Amino acid sequence: MGTYVSKQPVGTQRRTSSIRSRISSKRWPALHPSEMPSKQSAGNQRSLNQNPETSLEINLDCAADRRDPASNFSTDQIKDNPVAKTNIRLQEPEFLVEQLGALIEHPEKYSSHHRVIARLAHQVYEMLEGNCLIYQLYELIEEPQKFAKNDKELTILTRRASTVFENPYQTYHRIAYSGLPLIISRIAQDYNLLKTLVVGDNEAFSVSSLAEISGINEAILEIFLEYMAAQHIIEDTGKFLYKSNNVTKNLLEPIAINGIPLFDDLLFPIIGCLGDSLKEHPGRNAYQIAFNTTLDLASWLEDSPELYRGVFELIQNQSDHVPSWHDVVDFQEEFASGSDEQSFVFVDIGGGTGNQCNILLEKYPNLKGRVILQEKLARLQLARVPDRVMKVPYDLFSDQHIRGAYAYYIRQVLHQHTDEAVINILKAQAPAMREGSVLLIDEKVLPDMWAYLYHTYLAYITNKLRKIPKTTSLLNVTEMNILMVACFNAFDRRQDQWLGLLDKAGYEVAQIHPYSDLQDCIIVAKLKNQPAVQSPQLNEQSDVFNL
């Protein structure tokens, strides 16, 4: 009998591996079906070593017939009959566990019956295989750290597994009610339910106590709490008592504190108009329909300071949870090795509040040269950067004012624009670039074949491949891409699309560095045959603001 290869995470194999795998790993000859004893060939009585110390006579014919070993004894006979007591003992689950434990520890004691045992163990494993999976899932929930090595695989598979048994009603219900977690989480934030539970640590709160703290009607709050527990936002400990869990704590992190209200107030209404936007060719995008405007989103937000601030805070919060491009590129070594104090070493085009400038200077505190943050004037006023960073008002479609810089960097801006607009933005940078200047584009570069990657990933987890594909967050990437369509009528691009746009704008791609499983990449581009500016300078028409 061949060795069974467990597909469980490595950290749990010893505890949850099947009896079959642990028995068949011993050096016993393979079991042939013809060697399995039948009712006719089993014989009347066979001796099995029940433990290392003693031996009992067991009637295998009785076991094969599945008769009750104690059925031949009356209640009074059982009390005084040692054989009857033994037969009763053989029916207890604990007895089987003890015998299997003894078998694993001392297999040599059972060698005379190894073929029968191996066969039966295999049948038992197949019968209980579904229960083994259930056990492992409970263990995953209770002790997730044991499975951390395979977190992405488990996320993908459990999400898929959650839908395989759905009937039509369940599918409809899951999709139709998919907006509720956002709404209820917003209420829980606004009424301090989450904060109360987390501050209480492991303490369980009653519905009445939470109603008193939040001010929500107790009957209504009970419904909300039951729903939150069903969605695993909080933990139901029984008897209408609730406490926090890891999801509760996640919802109090800055990304959720800023992101959930922003989605509720701004982005969810926009997504709701996505279908209507498809009817206008060409016409307004979903955002413009939702808020009945002809302005682009950036201009409209300037008149809504609270939402405007929330957008930039969320962008910064999101970057805190994604690896940095500095993890794969040594900026100082690769792009700024010859810089001095007068050099323009880094120009952040459309850099928002200056988060990337701050990250660069934290990573390279001894970096020589001037760091420039370019944005619209209204956005520069929200920037939080050290005095070393020069804040320069700039419009993306105007010629670049900072000439001869080592690196021009543009992050998550181009995906908001159409192909034609992207080409114009890229062309506006070219006249300012000197020989050796690079354009660093920090955007998502989507693979060309999602289905191929998905099936490649499945092949990996079934032990057909050794390497893990980088793409493990397909759902997150596609969700963000749909949001881009709704807000800007634009989208994240694939590699061949980026290459085509850069070629039309007069650039060639030197390198593409992926740095996250969300397909974030640094595209390193250089001019093809553009006349180069030889010395760094600041155009006279440009002003530097110390805001």
Whether residue 106 lies inside any domain: the answer is yes
Q: Which residue has the higher pLDDT, 409 or 72?
A: 409
Q: Which of 459, 476, 479, 475 is nearest to 467 (CA)?
A: 459
**420 & 278 share domain:** no
**534 & 400 share domain:** yes
* Residue 83: per-residue pLDDT: 53
**241 & 263 share domain:** no
pLDDT one-digit tens code per residue, 219-242 = 999 999 999 999 999 999 999 999
Residue 128's pLDDT band, with cuts at 50, 70 and 90, is low
Q: Which residue has the higher pLDDT, 312 or 430?
A: 430
**407 & 424 share domain:** yes
Whether residue 475 lies inside any domain: the answer is no
What CATH number does residue 219 fall under?
Answer: 1.10.10.10
**184 & 271 share domain:** no
**408 & 420 share domain:** yes
Residue 85's pLDDT band, with cuts at 50, 70 and 90, is low
pTM, rounded to two decimals: 0.67
Query: What pairing do the DSSP bridges indicate for beta strands 344-349 and 407-411?
Result: parallel
**90 & 192 share domain:** no
Exposure string (b/e) for 135-155, b if CB count within 10 Å is 16 or more?
ebeebbeeeeebbeebeebbe
CA angle 206, 187, 172 (to 5 degrees): 100
3-state secondary structure of 117: helix
Whether residue 155 lies inside any domain: the answer is no
**139 & 204 share domain:** no
Q: Which of 318, 309, 293 is nearest to 483 (CA)?
A: 318
Number of compact structural domains in the chain: 4
Q: Where in the sequence is the domain holding 291, given as residue range(s)?
A: 255-316
**Beta partners for 525?**
439, 509
Whether residue 1 lies inside any domain: the answer is no
Tokens 């955007």, located at residue = 443
**282 & 247 share domain:** no
Whether residue 473 lies inside any domain: the answer is no
Residue 466's pLDDT band, with cuts at 50, 70 and 90, is very low
**330 & 311 share domain:** no
